[in-house]
Amino acid sequence: MVDIQELVRQAQEMQNKVRLAQDELGKITVEGTAGGGLVKVTMTCLKKVIKVAIDPSTLTNKSELEDLLVAAFNNGKEKAEEVSTATMEEATNGLELPAGLDVPM
């Protein structure tokens, strides 16, 4: 027979681990780059942008700069998602969380 109290304890333990992992993801930063480093975007793994660095040589071409910004943001987002996924998998011991669960990843 399944021990409900043990299941509840395990669920609470996992919830605490997930909460700690989320806090940690807010502190971990990644850098997205584009154009060989002409544009750099620094963000947390919760996808909060902290810094944008733009090489002055890109300021003469608005269209190119816009494309580089989009690419750098997308690159940073991908890196943040990779770290978030790995961190959350570790926190949940590889258990996939149900779809729609409000866990930033």
Each residue's pLDDT tens digit, 49-77: 999 999 999 999 999 999 999 999 999 99
How far apart are the C-alpha atoms of 37 and 32, rounded to whole Å? 9
- Per residue in 6-35, pLDDT (tens digit) is 888 888 888 888 899 889 999 999 999 999
The whole-angstrom separation of Cα 87 and Cα 13 is 16
pTM value is 0.76
Report the CATH number of the 4-91 domain. 3.30.1310.10
How do beta strands 29-34 and 39-44 pair?
A: antiparallel
DSSP state of 32: E
- Each domain of the chain, given as residue ranges in start order, spans 4-91
